[in-house]
Amino acid sequence: MLRVAVIGSGPSGVYTAQSLIEQQTVPDIEVYVLDRLPCPYGLVRYGVAPDHEKIKSLQNNLRTVLEHPRAHFLGNVEVGAPGLGIAELRKIFDAVVFCVGAATDRRLGIPGEDLPGSHPATEFVAWYSAHPDAAALRFTFAARSALVIGVGNVAVDVARMLSRGAAELAATDMPQGPLGALADSHVEDVWMIGRRGPSQAKFTTKELRELGSLPDTDVRVRPEELALDPAYRDPGELPAAARRNVEVLRGWAERPATGPENPDAGAGAPPARPRRRIHLRFFLRPVEILGDDGGVRAVRFERTAPDGAGGVSGTGEFEEIEGQLVLRSVGYRGTPQPGLPFDEATGTVPHLAGRVLQDGAPLPGVYVAGWIKRGPTGVIGTNRPCAKETASSLLADAPALAARGTDGGPLAAGAAHRTAEDPVAALIRAGQRPVPWPGWLAIEAAEAEWGHGLGRGTVKLPDWAGLLNAARSAEPSD
Ligand code: NAP
C-alpha cells in the first residue's frame, strides 16, 4: 500500500488527491490531505469573495474527493512545526506533496507602505473571508476614498467588496464583524490603479464586467488614458482575453457621464449620480504612500508611458490621488517551506514535473503542485493539469517509493520501511491534534446554526477558538 500525504487542502491539494485516487496503476493508495487550518478548501473558502457564490460552490466538488474512502482529511496539522519536519513526515508517509499555495503578499518597496491605513489586499480578503489568522485585524471605513493598487482579479474583488451595499453582503457567509464594518462604510470613491495599460491588465473579463453591474455604483475610465495604450487603439493583435477587456473598457469610456447627486434634477437632466464610483486608472506607478498624523492621506504616482516592449517607463510627471485607505493588490508570493529548497526570485520550490529538485537532483518522495510549484497565477481550474502532472510523476516513482528506506535511499535488506503505525496516531505522537472529517462537518453545522440564529444563512466562524470548539464537539467523549 502506498501512503501519500498531500499538504494543503485548497484546489491544488484536492486535485492532486483526486488524481492519485482515480488512477488505476497503483490501486492500493491511501491519500491523507493535511491542512494547518481545521477547515478544508484553502482559497476557495478563504480567498474567493463571499459574493461569488457560484465559484464557492466548487467546494461541493472538492468535498466529493475528500469524502472518497481512500482520502482522509486531517485539519489542524502544522507541517514544519517541531517534530513534524520532512524527515518525520517521510517516516509516516511514502511520499509527501506540498500544495501550500502562496501564503504571503508581494511588497511594493516604496516609502509609506506600512503607514496606518495601508494594507496588503490579501489581509483585507482574509479578514472578510473569516480566516482565523485574521481574527485580530480591524478594518474601519471612515475613508471617503479608497485606493486599490494593481489591476488583477484580487484588485477587482476588493474594489467590488468595497462597493457593495449592506443588503447584498448580508446574503453572504461573511462573519458579523466585517459585515457590520462594511455596512457602515463611508467609502464613496474606489480607485483601481494599474502601472501599465488597459491591454496589459491582469483581471479577467467576467470579473471586470461585473463591476459595471453593481447597484448604485458608477464605473469611470478616462478615454485619454486608455488611448495612450497602442493596443487599446488597435486591439486586433491582442490575445482574446485582453481584447475582451479592452472592449468592456471602451464601452465604459464611450458612455455619457452621469449627473449630479440630485434625483429631482428634472426631465432631460443626466441620470442621478450613483452613491459610489469605481475609477479605473492606468499608466500610474506608485512611488510613495503619503501620510499625516491620522495615517494615509494620498498616494503619489509617476505617470508612465508604454515602452513598446510590453513594459512602461517613467515620464517624470507625478500625480497624487487622495485616499485614506490603501489596499496593495500586487500579487501573492510563496514562502519558504522548512526543509525544502526555495527560489527567492520566483517564490516557488524548484521542481521537475512536480518532483522537488535539490541542487538539481530530485529529493526522493517529495513533490509540489499548485502555486508553490508554478507561482500565483491562473484560475482555480489551472490547478487541475498542474496537479495531474505531479501525480503522474509520483505514480511513476511508486515502485521506488515503496522500496525505499526512511532516508530516501534504497531499502537495505531487513531495514524498516515507513512506519506501519496509523498516520493519525503518528501525528498525535508528533505533537499534533488533528481535526478529522467529522470535526469539519461539525464546524459546518455550527456555522449553519450560528447563521440561523442571526437570521442569516450560514455564517463563518471567524476565530481559532470557535472553529476548534465546534470541531471538538464531534469527538467521542471519554
Ligand atoms: P495578479 O493577477 O498577478 O495581478 C497583480 C497586479 O499587481 C498586476 O496588475 C500587476 O501589474 C500589479 N503589480 C505588481 N507589482 C506592482 C508594483 N510594484 N506596482 C504596481 N503594480 C504592481 O495577482 P492577483 O490579482 O493577486 O491574483 C492572483 C491570482 O489569483 C491570479 O491568477 C488571479 O487570476 C487569481 N484570482 C482569480 C479570481 C477569479 O477568478 N475570480 C479572483 C481572485 C484571484 P503588472 O502586470 O504590471 O505586473
Nearest CA to ligand 1 atom 1: 152
CA separation, residue 415 to residues 120, 400, 412 (Å): 50, 15, 5
Distance CA 377, CA 400 (A): 32
* CATH code linked to domain 106-331: 3.50.50.60
Q: Taking the alpha carbons of 204, 207, 210, 211 in that order, is the dihedral positive or negative?
A: negative
CATH number of 2-103+334-433: 3.40.50.720
Q: Could you give phi then psi for residue 172, rounded to 5 degrees?
A: -95, 180
pLDDT digits (tens, 9 = 90+) for 18-57: 999 999 899 899 999 999 999 999 999 999 999 999 999 9
Nearest to 194 by CA among 241, 238, 245: 245
Please say if the pLDDT value at position 164 is more than 90. yes
Q: What is the pLDDT of residue 316?
A: 98
How many A from CA of 387 to the centre of ligand 1?
22
Average pLDDT along the chain: 92
Would you say residue 416 has pLDDT above 50?
Answer: no
Q: Is the pLDDT of residue 140 over 80?
A: yes
Task: Calculate how far, in angstroms, residue 329's C-alpha sits from the geometric centre of ligand 1.
Answer: 7
Write out the E strands in 45-194.
71-75, 95-98, 104-105, 118-120, 145-149, 189-193
In this prediction, residue 478 carries a pLDDT of: 65
Give, using CA atoms, the residue closest to atom 3 of ligand 1.
331
**CA distances, 279 to each of 152, 262, 320 (Å):** 15, 21, 14
Considering only CA atoms, which residue is closest to atom 16 of ligand 1? 330
The one-letter amino acid at 237: E
Q: What is the pLDDT of residue 268?
A: 58
CA distance 192 to 158: 10
Q: Is the pLDDT of residue 285 over 90?
A: yes
Ligand 1 nearest-atom number relative to CA 106: 15
d(CA 167, CA 183): 8
DSSP bridge partners of 304: 314
Contact assessment for residue 249 and residue 242, using Cβ atoms and an 8 Å cutoff: no
Query: What's residue 406's pLDDT?
Result: 54
So what's the pLDDT on residue 262?
Answer: 45
Q: For residue 36, report the phi and psi dihedrals to the nearest 5 degrees.
A: -65, -30
> For residue 458, is pLDDT > 50?
yes
Residue list, ligand 1 pocket, CB within 6 Å = 106, 108, 149-155, 157, 194-196, 200, 202, 204, 207, 286, 329-332, 376-379
Does residue 120 surpass a pLDDT of 70?
yes
pLDDT confidence tier of residue 360, bands split at 50, 70 and 90: very high
List the domain boundaries for the chain. Answer: 2-103+334-433, 106-331
Mutate which of 51, 55, 153, 372 to test ligand 1's pocket (most atoms within 8 Å of Cβ)? 153
pLDDT for 311 beyond 80: yes
Tell which one of 46, 124, 149, 195 to mutate to probe ligand 1, the residue whose CB is within 8 A of the most ligand atoms: 195
CA distance 370 to 376: 8
- Per-residue pLDDT of 47-89, as tens digits, reads 999 999 999 999 999 999 999 999 999 999 999 999 999 999 9
| Structure confidence by residue, pLDDT tens digits, 203-258 | 999 999 999 999 999 999 999 999 999 998 888 889 999 999 999 999 999 987 66
Q: pLDDT > 70: what percent of the chain?
A: 93
Joined together, the cell numbers standing for residue 47 give: 480567498
Out of 118-132, 243-257, 302-316, 399-413, which region has the weakest mean confidence (pLDDT)?
Answer: 399-413
Whether the model clears a pTM of 0.85, i.e. scores above it, the answer is: yes
pLDDT band at 414 (very low <50, low <70, confident <90, very high): very low
